[in-house]
Amino acid sequence: MKTIVEVKVKEDVEGLVREFILDDHPCVMAQSVIADDNVTIQSYGNMDNFCPNTLLNDLKTYVNEVEEDSMKFQTFIAVFEDTTIETEQQFENSLWNLLQTLHSIDTHAWDTTTSPDPESPNFSFSLLGTSFYIVGMHPNSSRWARSSPFPMIVFNLHSQFELLRSAGRYERVRDLIRKRDKAYQGSINPMLEDFGTNSEARQYSGRAVAADWKCPFTSKH
């Protein structure tokens, strides 16, 4: 059983994450999932020394509980409150090491709707046979929208973006978020591109990468 102290710490972490997103964050979808309580927030301590099986099992529970074909966005946030990140490069390294570790213990086939090749414009990170658009955040991100109180990884279901496209709402939501981001920081995140234009792996860490950047992830599929 969790102690009173552990429960209090978890509540404090969740509270700060929710406050960060609700406090004038430019992503209206993120604000929506927090406001509607359609978010799962779990803490895992140290990003470089976590229990991958625990995180994967929590993601499995989340995926199983998601309402299929729902137009309400639902998301999963893994928080690593015991991790100190000094630079964007350090976070990028830790992010991809973590994703590689999860991939190595995942026994499911890759989601057939996306590519396992991180260089492909159709790449989207797959776990449990389900593709996710990954958003990495940490306190020292140069993008204010990603400058979260703790290092954390947001797992957004790729299928939910496709539902937005099929409903004709994707472009409107995308343009609104970019407009808000520009008003928030004075510029649009230079790494943002629509799915299918370039590999979305370039966007995961939040760091601005060069055109010749190579994703450190290697798929076993």
- The tokens describing 132, both together, are 């996710």
Domain boundaries, the chain: 4-203
- pLDDT at residue number 3: 54
- Binned at pLDDT 50, 70 and 90, residue 65 comes out as confident
Q: Mean pLDDT, to the nearest integer, of 166-188? A: 89
DSSP 77: E
Q: Mind listing the pLDDT tens digit for each residue in 106-151?
A: 999 999 999 999 999 999 999 999 999 999 999 999 999 999 999 9
pTM score of the predicted model: 0.91
Task: Flag whether pLDDT at 49 surpasses 90.
Answer: yes
Measured CA to CA, the distance from residue 74 to residue 157 in angstroms comes to 8
Q: How confident is the model at residue 40 (pLDDT cuts 50, 70, 90)?
A: very high
Query: Residue 71: its pLDDT value, please?
Result: 57
For residues 124 and 210, give the distance between their C-alpha atoms in angstroms, rounded to a whole number. Answer: 20
Query: In this model, does residue 5 exceed pLDDT 50?
Result: no
Reply yes or no on whether the pLDDT at 166 is more than 50: yes
Q: In the structure, what pLDDT confidence band is assigned to residue 191 with cuts at 50, 70 and 90?
A: confident
Would you call 26 helix, strand, or coil by DSSP? coil
